[in-house]
Structure 1
């Protein structure tokens, strides 16, 4: 049985994880997904976990593909009522079905369950074909440093659409956080570790910031292969370019791979997939000790997405 671990966050990570699950269906492979939880926050007394929910809904087939977040067929009566009472953020609307998830999760947390146990119980509602592991059971939240102070990542991302120039990012709580149950063991026992085409700064970055996870990646016998979230100098989805600019990294497939770095030199990667339009990036990446391949990265339809997942596994096999 092949044991595959995915580091994931955001819509791109959720869709890549779904493609991977579909690509290995029937092979007996086991997939465990370590999910970013630094987008999380408390709102209206509820613990909101956007990336965990995106992965869950996408694997369950109940996500809203058009919006890219939330449940399909949503209504928003409860959010509208909360806003009438002045509760919550008026620019951050939660659907009624989505609120059901947040209420259930918060109830479990209030009863003393760690986040990882709550995730396992909630995910059991659907046949996901993968095991979801939050990066930590501790509370970690990303805050954005601007010229006028700091704000929660969700305010910068959702309210301002990353239009306020960021000067840096703080992963508050990460310095004291420990990996959630099963995370280090999953990495240690993996046959392949895949870094999804997620935002490298605010989706994958917080995972790597939890002490013990980067160390587990350095020690695992499994090859670590990533998929570029940048194609032809542009982000595939979202506003990762604003995040990269803030930390002085070009919006470029090679630059992101080099930022992760070669595992042989203390970085994260053994291999990195770039799109065919970025084939010129292969040389610099290989020179830096990262095995690179140029393949189609656009997950425009299911067959293309599954092929990408297989390409990532093939690169892992060759980098082993």
Structure 2
């Protein structure tokens, strides 16, 4: 079955998520698409000698936005991520001044670059093979009120840098505006939880997705949720780790309450037995975490 291709070059891309986004393509409910993306640094870094003196104003280009027919505020947008394939022969890992977990460490060069050449199913980091395991770094929908750059994660999604947002998983986003307005990019050939230096191996990708609308759900969501098949994970971003983990825990409680008919207190107690806090990233303007509950203990109630 052929898929419509939505391309960074031919269709369009954004550097911010906003309430009044204009779609580059309108998908039918249940339609399958291929989304072509560019690396987060817009092909500016091609060799080890290419250095980033600062984080650009326009970074993390997100292909789209894609409107989905029938999506309305209060609905949930389901994005089945069927496959993520690298579409260029190299990635790039960088540091930049004032950016990254150890940005103030005087023994670490800021800026620095390592090109990671693609070799079959691996990338090469200074002679060490790292298995390619592509991740979609930035993915989200139109915001409820404020305009948020693609560098920043929030309730709409955005720069979540979450390793679970990859092929074989399903992501769910709250719909704040008509059509949802889905956009994505900033992929990595490989990235560790935390994204410590500020990047993964930044690379362009071709992403196969199927988009569907869950209308008038029994339980709504305020922030993204991902279903890996093995676990359901709430995803939350905030200024501090403490605030983010509290939000992620609150979101899990709502799902547990609906799935098991628990009171909020019962869900809170149960979450402390079966939930698991995980770090997505600690380097963007907000930190992002997730709370994972094994599938045996939580089925999505929508």
The two structures share one fold, judged by TM-score above 0.5: no
TM-score using structure 2 length: 0.28
Kindly indicate which of the two structures has a greater share of residues assigned to helix.
1
Kindly indicate which of the two structures has a greater share of residues assigned to strand.
2
